[in-house]
Structure 1
Amino acid sequence: MPNSSTAHATIPPTVWLARGRHTGNRADEALRRGLRRLKDGRAIDDFLELPAADTAPDLVFESRTRVAREVTVRARLSLAPGTAEGREWTLVAEAELPWDRAWPSPTGMFWEPEQDADWNHDAATGLRPGELNPLPDDDKAVRRLLRDCVRDAWHIHVVVHEAMTTDERGRVPLAHWLPPGLRHRVVEHRAAPQQLRVANWALREFGVQVPRGGAAVLPGAPVPEGYDAGAFAVRAVFLDGTEPAGLVDAVTRYDATARALPDGARAALTALREDWHLLTLAEELERERALVAMYAEALEAMTKSRDLYREAAERAHEALAACQDASSDVPAARQPPAAPGPAPSSPLQQLTRTLERLKPTARSRRATPREPGEPTPDRQ
Structure 2
Amino acid sequence: MPSTPTDRPTTPPTLWAARGRHAGPDADDVLRHHVRRLKDDEVLDDFLEPPVAEGAPERIFEARWRVPGEVTVRARLTLVPVAGDGSEWTLVAEAEQPWDQSWPSPATLFWPDTPDAAWDQEAATGLPFRDLNLLPSDDKAIRRLFKDAVRGWAVHVVVHEAMTTDERGRRPLTRLLPPGLRHRVVEHRAAPDQLRVVNWALRGLGVEVPRGGAVVLPGHPVPPGYEDGDFCVRSVFLDGSEPTELIETVTRYAALPKPLPDGLEEALTALREQWQLLTLEEELARERSLVAMYAEALEAMTRSRDLYREAAERANEALAAYREAVPDPAPDSSPGAPAGSPLQQLTRTFERFKGSTRALRPARSEGDGEDPPGTSGHEVS
Q: 1:264 aligns to what?
A: 263
Distance 1:210 1:263, change over 3 A: same
Q: Following the alignment from structure 1 to structure 2, what is the Cα–Cα distance between the partners of residues 256 and 125?
A: 22
Distance in structure 1 (CA, Å) of the matches to 2:5 and 2:133: 33
Partner of 1:123: 123
Distance in 1 separating the partners of 2:147 and 2:16: 24
- Residue 73 of structure 1 deviates from its aligned partner by 0.7
Q: Quick check: 95-104 or 256-265, which moved more?
A: 256-265
Output the CA distance in 1 between the equivalents of 2:248 and 2:88: 30
The count of aligned residue pairs is: 331
Paired position in structure 2 for 1:212: 211
**CA RMSD, 1 decimal:** 2.1
1:69 to partner: Cα distance: 4.5
Question: What is the deviation of 1:116?
Answer: 6.0
Q: Show the counterpart of 1:26.
A: 26
Deviation at 1:45?
1.1
Instruction: Indicate the residue corresponding to 1:187 in structure 2.
Output: 186
The alpha-carbon distance between structure 1 residues 125 and 95, as it changes in their structure 2 partners (threshold 3 A), is same
SS at 2:150 equivalent = helix
Contact 1:30 1:116 in 2 (8 A): no
* Correspondence list, 1:32-181, <5 A: 32-53=32-53, 56-84=56-84, 86-114=86-114, 117-152=117-152, 154-181=153-180
Distance 2:230 2:6 in 1: 24
Task: Name the residue aligned to 1:273.
Answer: 272
Amino acid of the structure 1 residue aligned with 2:141? A
Distance in 1, matches of 2:289 and 2:129, equals 42
Report the AA paired with residue 156 of structure 1: V
Q: Tell me, which stretches of 5 or more residues in structure 2 are unaligned?
A: 329-336, 338-381
Give the Å deviation of 1:207. 0.6
Task: Quote the offset at 1:6 in angstroms.
Answer: 5.2
Code of the aligned partner of 1:220: G
Bigger helix share: 1
1:139-179 CA-to-partner distances (Å, cap 9, x unmatched) read: 22222212211222x10000000111112332332223321
Kept after mapping to 1: 8 A contact 2:76/2:92: yes
Deviations 1:36-91 (A, max 9, x none): 11111111111111224368121111111111141111111111023225210000
1:19, 1:55 → 2: CA distance?
23
Q: Does 1:289 align with 2:288?
A: yes
Q: Distance in 1 between matches of 2:42 and 2:35?
A: 10
Distance in 2, matches of 1:115 and 1:308, equals 70
Pairwise CA distance, 1:328: 4.2
CA shift digits 1:10-45 (9 cap, x unpaired) = 211111110000002211111111111111111111
Pair 1:233–1:260, CA change in 2 (3 A):
same
Q: Match of 1:194, as an amino acid?
A: D
Distance 1:104 1:298 in 2: 44
TM-score (norm 1): 0.83
Which amino acid is the alignment partner of residue 124 of structure 1? Answer: A
Partner of 2:347: none
State the SS of the aligned residue for 2:313.
Answer: helix
Query: What's the secondary structure of 1:35's corresponding residue?
Result: helix
Deviation at 1:244, TM superposition (A): 1.6
- Confirm or deny that 1:224 pairs with 2:223: yes
Aligned residue number for residue 309 of structure 1: 308
Kept after mapping to 1: 8 A contact 2:4/2:224: no
**What corresponds to 1:336 in structure 2?**
none
TM-score w.r.t. structure 2 length? 0.82
- The whole-number CA distance in structure 1 between the counterparts of 2:27 and 2:236 is 38
**Pairs within 5 Å for 1:314-325:** 314-325=313-324
Q: Counterpart of 1:53 in 2: which secondary structure?
A: coil
Identity %: 67
1:44 to 1:73, Cα distance in 2 relative to 1, 3 A: same
Q: What whole-Å deviation, never above 9, does each CA across 1:265-289 have from its counterpart, x for those lacking one?
A: 1121111111111111111111111
Q: Is the contact made by 1:177 and 1:243 (CA closer than 8 Å) also made in structure 2?
A: yes
Amino acid at match of 1:18: A
5+ long unaligned stretches in structure 1: 330-340, 342-380
Specify the code of the residue in structure 2 equivalent to 1:219: P
Conservation of the 8 A alpha-carbon contact between 2:129 and 2:187:
yes
Distance in 2 between residues matched to 1:4 and 1:217, nearest whole Å: 17
Q: Tell me which structure has the larger Cα radius of gyration.
A: 1
- Match for residue 345 of structure 1? none
